[in-house]
Structure 1
Amino acid sequence: MIYHTGISSTNGLSNYGTALSKVARKDITIDFGRLLLETVKFALDGVKISIKKGWLEQPPLAVKHDFFSK
């Protein structure tokens, strides 16, 4: 079920992004931007749950350059 929710979230993000690029009214643009951010937060929570449960691998992290400079 979480997989289907993730797919729906990415489709929603795509739709909001397309709508954001097509709308000329500033008041609606602000609403689409807000909805886009809320959907990103929702999707990120799902990814964190999937990583915690072991259903998804953690993406590669950035190299810590401080460690190599010593």
Structure 2
Amino acid sequence: MRRPKLAHRPTGRGVIRGVVSISGRPAEAEDRMVPGHWEGDLALGTRRSAVAPLVERTSRYTAVVRSPTGGRSGEQ
């Protein structure tokens, strides 16, 4: 038996605030010649787990940092 879909309620998830376009970054970050420019991401897992891989653009040095709060702000 088919069930009706619930009304879509905005939850705020998936909304990025203060977005800066990638074209807005400095020119020296584009050519990867100046060390010190880092890229980061946040990977959310199951059971309140999260890691943040950080990559230095010139040397490609990578550090993976575990989030102590599981990537969800305000929860303990």
TM-score norm. by structure 1 comes to: 0.23
> Which structure is larger by alpha-carbon Rg, 1 or 2?
2
TM-score norm. by structure 2 comes to: 0.22
